[in-house]
Chain A
Amino acid sequence: DAGVIQSPRHEVTEMGQEVTLRCKPISGHNSLFWYRQTMMRGLELLIYFNNNVPIDDSGMPEDRFSAKMPNASFSTLKIQPSEPRDSAVYFCASRRTGTRLGSSYNEQFFGPGTRLTVL
């Protein structure tokens, strides 16, 4: 089975440009997560979706960041305008979220990440 797919794997852009990161979750998974990883702050949850609906975006740094999930197989994270401090690795993860405790419904599976550099 294909894992979580992210594109691009690397992105270098100049300050002020718009950046769009893409994610395809594992088929059948109904929760999707966007994380950011930096040396200073570690892994931070930015936003997550359940059944394509954004549930919690409290981790989104500011209004320059936006995320969408138009269908169960695709999500985007957009930064506009980008700034050098946005440079990080952005991970997408997906999970099949169920309601039975003790089941295999809880672990998140991560994509390979997108390394973003904003000059």
Chain B
Amino acid sequence: GNSVTQMEGPVTLSEEAFLTINCTYTATGYPSLFWYVQYPGEGLQLLLKATKADDKGSNKGFEATYRKETTSFHLEKGSVQVSDSAVYFCALSAASGGSYIPTFGRGTSLIVHP
């Protein structure tokens, strides 16, 4: 079946530090890949996405590149801010028994200190 594995948190960084959150996946067929973010007290919202190999999704200074050869979609940001503190979910959408149902990782909590 389809699955997503992402690094466990919490990840604690100082403001302006470099961020990497690792995400690897297993999927049948050719998945689309997503990162969602959940800010405190809010619902999940899409951060970025990529739909084919070597595509780079980017938004709000975050980037992730679809690496088919390593089945990875790592999230990066060059300089984090306190406002980036949130839980980040890696997700994929691929065929599973005839349906395309988004599969999510467990989430990685990011805490950014001033």
The answer to whether A and B come from one shared complex is no
Measured CB to CB, the residues of B under 8 A from A are: none
Measured CB to CB, the residues of A under 8 A from B are: none
